[in-house]
Structures are given as structure tokens and as C-alpha cells.
Structure 1
Amino acid sequence: MFGFLLRRTAAGLALIVVISFITFVLLSLPENDVGRTLLGPEAPADLVAAKNAALGLDRPVLTQYADWLSHALRADFGASWFTSEDVTAAIAARLPITLSLMIGVTTVTALASFGLGVWSGVRRGAVDRAVQILGVLGYALPGFLITLVIVLVFAVRLGWFPAIGYIPLSQSPAGWLSTVTLPVVALSIGAIAGASQQVRSAVIDVLSQDYIRTLRSRGLPARTVLFKHVLRNASAPALTVLGMQFVGLLGGAVLVEQIFGLPGLGSMAVAYTTRGDIPVIMGLLTVTVVGVVTINLLVDVAIGLLNPKSRQT
């Protein structure tokens, strides 16, 4: 197991370095004249050159990246070129908001998709058809349309939840729950639709295996067969899908945070990317990739515990 973890961790670290390097190089192309962007199109060329030199942009790209990487390893992403705000502090202030959404969506998706998928795969018939129809609808409807309908019904018409804003958990647990409920629901619908179908297919496949029929013929209770054998073997593909959907949710969080007025990493990415603020972009990219690698590592560990054969890959 240790060797398995070591290989997965090394691959994740290599991925972080490769993605950050490629992004840094693309952002440092000659067409991206940072000094001109900061000073304006009417600024004299000598002032633009001086500004680029002050930011260290006149150095070779490899030197710039090595300098950035050495600071990033100490969680120092520098300061924003436009606001002079410390990037690490800015990300740390907004990270809990996005994490609240991601953890909430992942929890809701896991519970709902496993419940619906197992129910559908075991019961079949009308239940199976109903779950499949709901899954197709949830997966096919545009995310922004679902979000707008949820806001219109539950925030504007019924007034059960606030339409915009965020209350920190430390300030008021009830207020925090009220501000994250609708965003979590909006992000969870499409995720549940996809994951539940994967769980259903995995459960049906496991139930058709010979060893399941053998266990049943020995008189084992149906509950024991389901929870001890079927779910254990059907969980691996479902966990893989959940890990992949977590990555997709990061993109959906950008839209949801904009609609609900949540000051998380998604809204921060939109604001600073349009400016071309490289220190902030690189900081956000690093945090995002580290999060994705961490989730994938946890999924790999969970699958490795469920299926020891997967540790050999």
C-alpha cells in the first residue's frame, strides 16, 4: 500500500509542476505585454519597459518560473499587480466559501447517487425507469437554467433562502447553512444525475456475477449480500465518477458563485483573469490543481482499499 501511495503522490506532484509550468509559459508570451496593460495604451514605451523590468518580466521565462516555484513551495504567491493584495491571503480568505460548496455538493451527490443507484439497480422495473428518466433530465438541463429556476422559486417566490450573499460558519451556523443550501442544490442536481447512473450500472453488473448467485444459494440474507459484497465491488467505478465530477464542479462553481454573489475562488478567478493578473492566476491555478490531485489521490486510495488488485497499477 505504501508503494501505491508513493507512486500516486509522485505522479500528482509531477502533474502540478507540468501544469503550472505550461500555464506560466503561456501567460508569459510576448503578446501579453503586462506593462502596457498596467500603464495603459497611451503610456510611453520607456515607461512600459521600466514597468516590465520592475516586475522581473525582462528575465528569461525559465528564470521567472524557477523564482515563482521557489516562492510557491513556501505558499508565497506574491502580490496582485493591480491591487497589491497578497495573493495567498486573498485566496485563504475566499477558499472556505468554495470549499463549503465543494464539500456540500460532494456529500449530497455521494449519498443521493448511491441511494438512487442502488435502489434502481436492485428494484429494477418502474423504479429503475423513473430513476433513469430523472437522471437524463437532470443531466440534460443546462446548469444555469436549473440555478435560475431554483433562485426564482425558493429565494424570490417562497423566500425560504437568501438569493445572494454569504454568512461565514463561524459567525452563524444557521446563516451559513441558509446561504450555501441553494448553491449546493444547484450544483448537485447534474452531478447526482450522472453518478447515480454509474452506480446503477455497477450494481446491475455485480448482481449478475456468478459469485453473487452462489452467495444467495448459500442462504445469506439479501441485506448481507448487498452491503457486504455488492456495494464493495460496485463502489470503485462510482468513486471514479465522483472524483471526475469534482473537477467539473470547479467550473460550475464559477457560474453559481456569480449568480448567488458568493465571494469564493470562482468569482475571484473571473475578476482577476480578465485583467491578466498573473500572480493571482497562478495562485488560483496551483490551489485548484492541488485540490484536484488531492481528490484523485483520495479516490485512488479508497479504490485501492476496496480492490487490492488496483494497487498494482
Structure 2
Amino acid sequence: MVRLIVNRLLLSVVLVVISSLAIFFLMSLVPGDPARTILGANATPDSIERLRQQLGLNEPLLSQYGTWFAGVLRGDFGQSVFTGDPVVALILSRLQVTLSLILLSTLVIAVLGATLGLLSAVRGGVLGKLLDAVSLVGLALPSYWVAIVLVALFAVTIRIFPATGYTVLTDDPGRWLLSLILPVAALSLGGVTIVAKQMRDSALDVLARDYIRVLRATGVRESSIVFKHVLRNAALPSLTVVGLTVVGALTGAVFVENVFVLPGLGTLVTQATTSHDLPVVLGVGVFFTLFVIIVNLAIDLLYGALNPKVRVR
């Protein structure tokens, strides 16, 4: 297990370099000039050229990337081109919003998805058919469309939840939770249906095995079979699906945060991309890459906790 963690940490360095390079060169293809945007439409060519030199935009792309990466090795992710604020400070100021949205969505996806899938496998019948239908709907509907519908229904028509905004957890826990219910619901719908379907299929496979029939024949209670044997074995393949849905939730969070006007990393990177604020885009990109690495490592560790054979390897 220690070897696994060390390998993941070494791999994370490679992934950060590759992802940051990809972001850097893709951003260079985006139309727009930060210097012209900062100075405005009435700026003279000379003033634009001077600002480009000050920002280092006249240097070759590899040279610009090398300068940025050298700063990262020193712990300096640079400053926003427009506000002058350190990139790390901008990310930390919005980190709570995005983490709250992702972690709550992960909890809903894992718990609700596993529960629905297990119930569907054990009970079957109408619940199984309903789960199949809902799974198709959940996969077909994008999170931003679900978010817009939820706002129209529960914030505009019925007015149960706030349509926009975010309350800090320490200021008012109740309003914090209330401000995240609709965003979490929009972000979790697809993941819940995917995990539920995977859990049901895995549980049905376990229920069909010979040792389950032996346990039933010997008089073991059904609840003990379900929770001690079926759930433990069916959870292994479902963990992979949970990990994939959490990683996919990062992309969904960008759209959901913009729909609900949440001051998170999604809205930050959207604004930075629109204004061609490269240091901010790179900083958020590195954070997202590290988040994906941490999620994958957590899934591997959970595999080891549930399956001793993985720990041996």
C-alpha cells in the first residue's frame, strides 16, 4: 500500500506537467489579448505593446511556460493579470464553495445510489424497472439543464430554495445547506442513477452465486446476507463508478456554479478564460488535476480496505 501511494505521488508530478502544458498551449489558441482587454478599446498600439512586454506576453510560449513552471517549483503560482491578486489566494478564497458542492454531491451519489441499487436488487419488480427508466433520463439530461429546471420550479415558481448565492458555513449552517440543495441535486442526478444501476447489477451477480444459496439454506438471516456479503462484494465495482462520477462532477460544477452564481472555482475559471487570465486558468487547472489524483488514490485505498487481495498486491 505504501508503494501504491509513492507511485501515485510520482505520477502526480507527471500529470501536473502534462495538464499544465496542455492548458497553456490551448489557451494560446483562444482569441483575445489580455493587454488590449486591460487597457480598453481606446488604448494606443504603443501602450498595448508596452503592457505586453511588462506581462511577458512577447516572449516565446515555451519561455513563458518555463517562467511559470519555475515559479510553481518555488510555490509561486503567479498573479492574476487583471486584479494583481496572487493566484493561490484567489483559489483559496473560492475553494470552500467548490469543495462543499463536490463533497456533498459525492455523499449523495454514493449513499443514495448504493441504497437505491441495493433495494432494487433485493426487491426487484417495479423498483427495478423504475430504476432503469430513471437511469436513462439521468444519463440523457446534462447537469446545467437540470439546474435551470430546478431553479425555475423550486426557486421561481414555488420559491422554496434560493435561486442564486452562497452562504458561508460558519456564518449560518442552515442557510449554507439551503443554498446548496438545488446545486447538489442538479450535480448529483446523473451520478446517482449510474451508481444505482451499477450497484444493482453487481448485487444481482452476487445474489446469484452458490455461497449465497448455501447461506440461505443454512438459515442465515436475509438482512445478514445482504449487508455482510452482498453489499461488501457489490461495493467493489461500484467504487470505480463513484470515482468516475466524482471526477465528472468537476466539469459539471463549472456549469452549475455559473447557473446558481456560486462564487466557486467554476465561476473563477470561466471568468479567467473569458478574459484570457492565463495564470488563474493554470492555477485552477493544476488544482483540478491534483483533485483527480487524490480521488483516484482514495478509491484505490478503499479497494484495499474492502478487498485484502488488493493490499497484498
Provide TM-score, normalisation by structure 2.
Answer: 0.90
- For residue 262 of structure 1, what is the aligned residue in structure 2? 262
> Which string of whole-angstrom CA distances, capped at 9 and with x for unpartnered residues, describes residues 101-124 of structure 1?
111111111111000000011222
In the alignment, the residues of structure 2 paired with residue 66 and residue 223 of structure 1 have an alpha-carbon distance, to the nearest angstrom, of 59
In the alignment, the residues of structure 2 paired with residue 74 and residue 243 of structure 1 have an alpha-carbon distance, to the nearest angstrom, of 31
Matched position secondary structure for 1:263:
coil
> Which string of whole-angstrom CA distances, capped at 9 and with x for unpartnered residues, describes residues 222-263 of structure 1?
222222222222112211111111121112112221221211
- For residue 18 of structure 2, what is the aligned residue in structure 1? 18
Is it true that 1:187 corresponds to 2:187 in the alignment? yes
> Which string of whole-angstrom CA distances, capped at 9 and with x for unpartnered residues, describes residues 31-50 of structure 1?
87554554567766555444
In the alignment, the residues of structure 2 paired with residue 259 and residue 300 of structure 1 have an alpha-carbon distance, to the nearest angstrom, of 33
Matched position secondary structure for 2:241:
helix
> Which string of whole-angstrom CA distances, capped at 9 and with x for unpartnered residues, describes residues 73-108 of structure 1?
454321111222222111111111111111111111
C-alpha distance 133-99 of structure 1, shift in aligned 2 (>3 A): same
Q: Give the superposition deviation at 1:141.
A: 2.9
**Aligned-partner residue type, residue 298 of structure 1:** A
- For residue 97 of structure 2, what is the aligned residue in structure 1? 97
**Aligned-partner residue type, residue 255 of structure 1:** F
C-alpha distance 82-310 of structure 1, shift in aligned 2 (>3 A): same
C-alpha distance 213-102 of structure 1, shift in aligned 2 (>3 A): same
- For residue 275 of structure 2, what is the aligned residue in structure 1? 275
**Aligned-partner residue type, residue 87 of structure 2:** V
Is it true that 1:178 corresponds to 2:178 in the alignment? yes
- For residue 154 of structure 1, what is the aligned residue in structure 2? 154
Gaps of 5+ in 1: none
Please tell me whether the aligned partners of residues 255 and 266 of structure 2 are also in contact (alpha carbons under 8 angstroms): yes
Please tell me whether the aligned partners of residues 33 and 276 of structure 2 are also in contact (alpha carbons under 8 angstroms): no
Q: Give the superposition deviation at 1:5.
A: 2.0
**Aligned-partner residue type, residue 205 of structure 2:** D
- Of 118-127 and 136-145, deviating more is 136-145
In the alignment, the residues of structure 2 paired with residue 74 and residue 225 of structure 1 have an alpha-carbon distance, to the nearest angstrom, of 54
Q: Give the superposition deviation at 1:308.
A: 3.5
Please tell me whether the aligned partners of residues 4 and 312 of structure 1 are also in contact (alpha carbons under 8 angstroms): no
- For residue 237 of structure 1, what is the aligned residue in structure 2? 237
Provide TM-score, normalisation by structure 1.
Answer: 0.90
Where in structure 2 are the equivalents of 1:33-112 lying within 5 Å? Answer: 34-36=34-36, 38-39=38-39, 47-112=47-112
Please tell me whether the aligned partners of residues 9 and 297 of structure 1 are also in contact (alpha carbons under 8 angstroms): no
Q: Give the superposition deviation at 1:299.
A: 0.9
Please tell me whether the aligned partners of residues 187 and 252 of structure 1 are also in contact (alpha carbons under 8 angstroms): yes
> Which string of whole-angstrom CA distances, capped at 9 and with x for unpartnered residues, describes residues 129-188 of structure 1?
122222222222343332222222222222221111111111111111111111111211
In the alignment, the residues of structure 1 paired with residue 250 and residue 265 of structure 2 have an alpha-carbon distance, to the nearest angstrom, of 9
- For residue 137 of structure 1, what is the aligned residue in structure 2? 137
**Aligned-partner residue type, residue 262 of structure 1:** L
**Aligned-partner residue type, residue 105 of structure 1:** S
In the alignment, the residues of structure 2 paired with residue 48 and residue 148 of structure 1 have an alpha-carbon distance, to the nearest angstrom, of 40
Please tell me whether the aligned partners of residues 75 and 88 of structure 1 are also in contact (alpha carbons under 8 angstroms): no
Please tell me whether the aligned partners of residues 8 and 297 of structure 2 are also in contact (alpha carbons under 8 angstroms): yes
- For residue 201 of structure 2, what is the aligned residue in structure 1? 201
In the alignment, the residues of structure 2 paired with residue 74 and residue 181 of structure 1 have an alpha-carbon distance, to the nearest angstrom, of 39
> Which string of whole-angstrom CA distances, capped at 9 and with x for unpartnered residues, describes residues 166-219 of structure 1?
111111111111111111112111211111111111111122223333333343
C-alpha distance 121-276 of structure 1, shift in aligned 2 (>3 A): same
- For residue 304 of structure 1, what is the aligned residue in structure 2? 304
- Of 131-140 and 45-54, deviating more is 45-54
- For residue 117 of structure 1, what is the aligned residue in structure 2? 117
C-alpha distance 35-154 of structure 1, shift in aligned 2 (>3 A): closer
- For residue 289 of structure 2, what is the aligned residue in structure 1? 289
Number of corresponding residues: 313
In the alignment, the residues of structure 2 paired with residue 123 and residue 59 of structure 1 have an alpha-carbon distance, to the nearest angstrom, of 65
**Aligned-partner residue type, residue 88 of structure 1:** V
- Of 67-76 and 297-306, deviating more is 67-76
Please tell me whether the aligned partners of residues 80 and 279 of structure 1 are also in contact (alpha carbons under 8 angstroms): yes
In the alignment, the residues of structure 2 paired with residue 231 and residue 53 of structure 1 have an alpha-carbon distance, to the nearest angstrom, of 61
**Aligned-partner residue type, residue 270 of structure 2:** V
Gaps of 5+ in 2: none
